[in-house]
Chains A and B, each alone.
Chain A
Amino acid sequence: MVDLRKRFGDVQALAGVSFRLEPGTFYALLGPSGCGKTTLLRLLAGFEQPDQGSILIGDEDVAGVPPYRRPVNTVFQHYALFPHMDVARNVGYGLRQQKPAPGRDEQTRRIDQALELVRLQGFGHRRSWELSGGQQQRVALARAIINRPTVLLLDEPLGALDLKLRREMQVELKQLQGQLGITFIFVTHDQDEAFSMADRVAVMHDGRILQDGPPSAIYDRPADPWVASFIGQMNVLPGQLEELGPPAVMRLDRGPVLHGEPPGTPIGIGERALLAVRPERIWLTRAGRNGTGPEHAGTRFEGRIVRTVFLGDTVEHVVDAPAVGTLVISAPNVEGQGTAGPVMGEEVVVGWTDDAARIISERRPGP
């Protein structure tokens, strides 16, 4: 799809979104609520028409094609199961609308097959309101995949489920997608969900896609300050670019000159930029000891722990380092750390290697 725009009155719900998918891709649209994810799906399904831009499915421009003639099916956010039909009739609904509709036996066979795919054999005669949330979710899924659409749209399909069920469904969805080879466009505001399932993730904000790429690239090489802060935790240190490198050189507002990976987006010398470091890439040792950090570490600062939060699998320290500011550092909770590790108020040394730091342009990708 190319440069999609959609405006509702004063609200610019989509401000120019473009992407192209290889068939069979699991594509996640990740963004906070209100950023235009649902609007984008509605344009793809055909419930709304774009103000501008075009949508191509295969080679066909689907502008003006009504939803019931698009090779696209949707799993709705609240499932939208037909309450006046049992599960089997819900699942077979799409088959019955086709012209010509498959024969009765063929329908029954495919309904059973679809129910089996979502592990709901024998639920055909239940009513949708008799099912749990997870089961309803599976019915909605079966109803959508039975038609073998070219593209399957999923609007926060797991949003209403509890955490455990959600994890299970994530695995199942991913498996199912591999099995069927259908292109999935999966909307979510949960980054773990997007990262664990998708081949490609698009981070959306205010009606735009800020970054689009494989999960690891989004996490390790955020191209935008907003993406950097939205995805996981990030220490960002403001300053000015001095050399493009590599390694790029940056002068922080607080004074020190540091190295980092150069930004992937256009930027000029002297422009405002951010130096971003993930909390888990920063090492920390007690002051006055031989550091556990690599000796060649490019950067090291002295500081004091102002807060320590025990998170189970990791321990998070907030360190006040006068040279650069406040840093969040997360360390794996290896044996003894919880009790014998550095504690609040202690003087420490922190640092990171040059490749842990990444420079991000403060300039927004063009409108």
Chain B
Amino acid sequence: MSLQRWIDRGLRWWTVGVYVFLFLPIVVVIVFSFNEGRHVAQITGFSLRWYEEAWNDQFVLRALRTSLTIALVSAVIATIIGTLSAIAMHGARPAVRMTFELLIYIAIIVPGIVIGISTLIFAVTAFDLVNPVLASLLPDRPPQLTLGLGTVIAAHAMFTSAIVNVLVRTRMAGMDRTLVEASSDLYASPWRTFRQVTIPQLRPAIVAGFLLAFTFSFDDFIVAFFTTGQDQTLPIFLFASIRRGVTPVVNAIATVLLTVTISSLVLAWFVAVRRGRHAAPESTGAEVAAAAEP
């Protein structure tokens, strides 16, 4: 056997090893979330009791509600901002457009921990400045701005609107410009053209962007950890309960988290690739995959 074949073989097993190392823990979590017994050491039988226990735990439910609220609201905001900014950039002067493009890519590659810390510092500083002003305006019941749902939503929406923006712009670049002209030629005013042609053409990218934004927000730990204040999201709750000691309830919650995330990603990919097929030949699917990477 030649050296080359040995190298090939070695690389192949190395690859397999890497993937096993990456996914084995996840598989273990899923398997043991359905395990009857309390201990990881032995599998005693199939059971949904840990899911039941999680479902009856009001702290788990509250964390789930918090996570869903943050994910939904931030995804809606990100979708609106991301789509509108993409459309605006499409018509902007090249210099402006390139500046924004750069900023958007920076927003995407900045590590979550940096976003988390900087949002935290910004919010705390801003609140320190604004709160005294509010107190002087409304001396009776001064509103106190604090860290909480609002700050997490803002931090998530900032990051995820960049993802939506990239998806929508990719789609726009692949869009047939003559469709807009055809609409205008057939007596549609610019606003009606926008509503009747541009938005429907962009819809797959917008929907995929929404789903990605939702996914990112729902399974984010780092950014939320820094900006959340008192409220616990599901990932943060998970982190806290592990420190108290691992129970199979944690496995059940993690499995739910994983299921929601994966189904949302698959749906986003499906929408971008399948729905986008007839309008823009170069699918947004690759973009979805790329954006899902971090």
Residues of A at the B interface (CB closer than 8 Å) are 45, 47, 66-69, 72-74, 76, 78, 80-84, 93-94, 97-98, 127, 129, 143-144, 147
B186 touches A73 (CB 8 A): yes
Output the nearest chain B residue to A98 by Cβ-Cβ distance.
Answer: B187
Q: How far is the CB of A240 from chain B (nearest CB, A)?
A: 50
Chain A residues with CB under 8 Å of B181's CB are 45, 47, 67, 74, 76, 80
Residue of B nearest to A69 (CB): B187
Q: Does the CB pair B185–A84 fall under 8 Å?
A: no
Q: A83 touches which one: B188, B189, B278 (CB < 8 A)?
A: B278
Q: Which residues of chain A are within 8 angstroms of B192 by Cβ–Cβ distance?
A: 97
Given contacts A80-B179, A82-B179, A82-B197, contact A74 B185 (CB under 8 A): yes
Interface of chain A: mostly helix, strand, loop or mixed: mixed
Q: Is A66 in contact with B184, judged by CB distance below 8 angstroms?
A: yes
Q: In the complex, which residues of chain A have a beta carbon less than 8 angstroms from the beta carbon of B193?
A: 68
How far is the CB of A49 from the nearest CB of chain B, in Å? 14
Q: How far is the CA of A143 from the CA of B193 in the complex (A)?
A: 16
Asked if B201 and A84 sit within 8 Å, CB to CB, the answer is yes
Interface centre among B187, B200, B203 (most CB of A within 10 A): B187
CA distance A78 to B197 in the complex (A): 17
List of B residues within 8 angstroms of A74 by Cβ: 181-182, 185
**Beyond A74-B182, A76-B178, A78-B178, is A68–B278 a contact (Cβ under 8 Å)?**
no
Bound Cα distance from A48 to B161, whole angstroms: 34
Interface string of B33-62 (1 = CB under 8 A from A): 000000000000000000000000000000
Contact call B178/A80, Cβ cutoff below 8 A:
yes
Contact indicator per residue, chain B 266-279, by CB within 8 Å of chain A (1) or not (0): 00000000000011
Q: Are the CB atoms of B186 and A93 closer together than 8 Å?
A: yes
Q: Which residues of B contact A (CB under 8 A)?
A: 176, 178-179, 181-190, 192-193, 196-197, 200-201, 203, 278-279
For the residues of B in contact with A, the DSSP-based class is helix
Q: Is the CB of B200 within 8 A of A84?
A: yes
Given contacts A68-B188, A68-B189, A78-B178, contact A93 B200 (CB under 8 A): no
Which of chain B's residues have a CB closer than 8 A to the CB of A66? Answer: 184
Chain A nearest CB: distance from B206 CB in Å? 13
Contact B178 A97 (CB under 8 A): no
In the assembled complex, the CB of B35 is this many whole angstroms from the nearest CB of chain A, namely: 48
Most B CB atoms within 10 A — which of A68, A78, A144?
A68
A155 → chain B closest CB, angstroms: 10
Q: Do A72 and B278 have beta carbons less than 8 Å apart?
A: no
What 10 additional pairs, Cβ within 8 angstroms, besides A47-B184, A72-B185? Answer: A68-B184, A78-B176, A80-B178, A81-B182, A83-B278, A83-B279, A84-B203, A97-B192, A98-B187, A143-B186
Give the chain B neighbours of A72 by CB distance below 8 A: 185
A87 to B183, CA, bound (A): 15
**CB nearest neighbor in A for B176:** A80
In the bound complex, do residue A80 and residue B182 qualify as a contact, i.e. CB atoms below 8 Å apart? yes
Task: Please give, as numbers and ranges, the residues of chain A lying within 8 Å of B186 by CB-CB distance.
Answer: 68, 73, 93-94, 97, 143-144, 147
Give A82 to B197 CA distance when docked, in angstroms.
Answer: 8
A98 contacts across to B, CB distance below 8 A:
187
- List A contacts of B190 (CB < 8 A): 68
A66 to B181, CA, bound (A): 11
B187 x A84 contact (CB < 8 A): no
Q: List 27 A-B contacts (CB under 8 A).
A: A47-B181, A68-B184, A68-B187, A68-B189, A68-B190, A69-B187, A73-B186, A74-B182, A74-B185, A76-B178, A76-B181, A78-B178, A80-B181, A80-B182, A82-B200, A83-B278, A84-B203, A93-B183, A93-B186, A93-B196, A94-B186, A97-B186, A98-B187, A127-B278, A129-B278, A143-B186, A144-B186
Q: Is the CB of B184 within 8 A of A82?
A: no
A83, B201: Cα distance in complex, Å: 8
Shortest C-beta distance, B233 to chain A (Å), equals: 37
Which B residues lie within 8 Å of A144 (CB)? Answer: 186
